[in-house]
Amino acid sequence: MEFCFLAERPDLTPQVAKWYFEQWGAIVPDATLSSFEDKLTEYLQTDAIPLIVLLMQDNRPIGAAQLRFHEMTIYPDKTHWLGGVYVAPHARGNKVASTLVQKIEQLAVSFSVRELHLQTEQQDGGLYARLGWQAQERVNYRGVNVVVMCKRLAHS
């Protein structure tokens, strides 16, 4: 398995948009597959936020994760977010999500980010709690009950 940025493989944008649309399209007002694909053009960079990291296996994407700004509009003070963590169904259960989260954390540190936030529907924090993320609060956002979590990042 190896990492690459979506910016390095823009040909994979339709695949990532399809994953995201199928996973989260129902909770995004007026979402279409095309609107998801259009939104991903903002992430086509390697040296600035926002960006998307892909985990590749046999030159095919098996997962994606985002380092982004202001994921939840109700928290204008929470700047940096881990979002869009998605693992292809056939690759689940193989630590792909953990690997992606840790890569985003490393990238955030390289951009001098001191604190990352995320939202998850897993009320116990699931994978994120196991990776050291702390629950901050539970809210209903866009009709979905989520836990907002935070992780302070270690800088060397």
Q: For 93-129, what is each residue's pLDDT tens digit? A: 999 999 999 999 999 999 999 999 999 999 999 999 9
Q: For residue 55, what are the domain limits?
A: 2-113
Helix (H), strand (E) at residue 108 = helix 96-110
- Contact (Cβ atoms closer than 8 angstroms) between residue 111 and residue 68: no
Q: Say how many domains are in the chain.
A: 1
- Contact (Cβ atoms closer than 8 angstroms) between residue 27 and residue 72: no
CA 78, 25, 131 angle in degrees (round to 5)? 45
pLDDT digits (tens, 9 = 90+) for 34-79: 999 999 999 999 999 999 999 999 999 999 999 999 989 899 999 9
In a domain, residue 77? The reply is yes
pLDDT above 70 for 28: yes
In a domain, residue 6? The reply is yes
Residue 156's pLDDT band (cuts 50, 70, 90): low
Nearest to 104 by CA among 89, 91, 123, 117: 117
CATH of the domain at 43: 3.40.630.30
